[in-house]
């Protein structure tokens, strides 16, 4: 699903992003709920990046990547955590923004029923994209959830890619 947003892109650069775990739902511009594996994944498009909320048997989990007011920026390259009987793993990388590749990525994610792309303002390169996926190796009815996100910063020429999964501990 593609959403054209009239709000300005609130993030400025990749270095300002933070990872916050366990937050309550943050006000979202758009929400996509995806039944997947043994739970439901809610992908939330924020004016300042994304929030993913996993509802799983025995636990709920949330990941928020955003420019948090008053927080020092800096996404970790890797992070792990646990929620009840579930283990969480997160990776992030910053790479140079390739506008042509970004256009193709945005089209593929928007065409996927598990994908959500938010285009901020008139610049098609100012976007956040999120896509849910079955946990590799578990199939559709397996025991976990996975998701990927892309945050494009055309003003600084950066693309932030994240990947996360929640699996049985």
What pLDDT, in 10s, does the model give residues 144-169?
889 999 999 998 999 999 999 998 88
Sheet containing 158-168, strands listed edge to edge, beginning at the edge strand earlier in sequence: 2-5, 115-120, 127-134, 145-153, 158-168, 86-96, 78-83
Write out pLDDT tens, residues 88-135. Answer: 999 999 999 999 999 999 999 999 999 999 998 878 888 999 999 877
Rounded CA-CA distance 20/11 in Å is 16
The residue range of the domain holding 120 is: 2-168
Evaluate if residue 141 carries a pLDDT over 70.
no
- How many residues are there in the chain? 169
Q: Read off the tokens for 55.
A: 């509802």
Write out pLDDT tens, residues 42-56. Answer: 999 998 789 999 998
| Whether the predicted model's global pTM rises above the 0.85 cut | yes
Buried b (16+ CB within 10 A) or exposed e, 42-70: bbbbbbbbbbbbbbbeebebbbbbbbbee
Percent of the chain past pLDDT 90, that is, above it, reads: 63
The dihedral through the CA atoms of 75, 146, 36, 124 has a sign that is positive
Q: Read off the tokens for 9.
A: 């892109």
DSSP-derived 3-state class of residue 107: helix
* Mean pLDDT on 64-83: 88
How far is residue 69 from each of residues 30, 74, 141, 160, measured CA to CA in Å? 21, 13, 38, 19
For the chain, what is the domain count? 1
According to the model, what pLDDT value does residue 105 have? 97
């Amino acid at each position: 699903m593609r959403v054209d947003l009239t709000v300005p892109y609130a993030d400025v650069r990749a270095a300002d992003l933070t990872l916050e775990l366990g937050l309550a739902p943050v006000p979202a511009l758009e929400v996509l709920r995806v039944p997947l594996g043994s739970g439901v994944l809610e992908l939330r498009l924020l004016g300042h990046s994304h929030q993913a909320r996993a509802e799983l048997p025995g636990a709920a989990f949330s990941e928020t990547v955003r420019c948090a007011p008053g927080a020092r920026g800096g996404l970790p390259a890797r992070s792990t955590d646990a929620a009840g009987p579930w283990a969480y793993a997160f990776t992030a990388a910053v790479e140079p923004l390739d506008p042509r590749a970004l256009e193709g990525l945005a089209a593929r994610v928007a065409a996927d029923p598990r994908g959500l792309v938010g285009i901020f303002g008139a610049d098609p390169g100012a976007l956040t994209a999120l896509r849910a996926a079955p946990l590799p190796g578990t199939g559709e009815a397996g025991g976990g959830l996975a998701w990927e996100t892309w945050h494009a910063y055309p003003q600084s020429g950066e693309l932030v890619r994240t990947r996360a999964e929640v699996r049985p501990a």
